[in-house]
Amino acid sequence: MGGRKSKSKGYTGEKEFAELIGGRRIPASGAADAFPNDVELPNGWLAEIKRRREGMKTLYKWVEDERENPDIVAYRSDRKQWLIVMDLDHFKQLLNKE
């Protein structure tokens, strides 16, 4: 993907996520040190938004597992901190948006 397409995909992802959760997209995010994150959540937290065509197939399989049906997936690589992953509906519940 070329630079312009990649930038456009990133912008649309930031805009879409901000609208879905009732947050706000941070203008010029990533362009300067003063604006390091992409979206401000309703509770004041900051989010970095990433879009990849197929970058996290296994992670999606874990979250969408029909047998286990988890609310969250906790993941940690060696010598890294834990990451918590959940679908948007659960995240909106956490933010008291539904």
pLDDT in tens, 6-33: 888 888 999 999 999 999 999 876 666 6
Residues 66 and 80 in one domain: yes
Residues 1 and 47 in one domain: yes
Q: How many domains does the chain have?
A: 2
Residues 20 and 62 in one domain: no
Separation CA 38–CA 78 (nearest Å)? 27
Residues 27 and 64 in one domain: no
Judge whether 9 and 51 are in contact, CB under 8 Å.
Answer: yes
Sign of CA dihedral 57, 27, 31, 9: positive
Domain of 47, in residue numbers:
1-51
Residues 42 and 76 in one domain: no
Residues 31 and 57 in one domain: no
**Whole-model pTM?**
0.77
Beta-carbon neighbour count of residue 9 at 10 Å?
14
Higher confidence at residue 16 or residue 51? 16
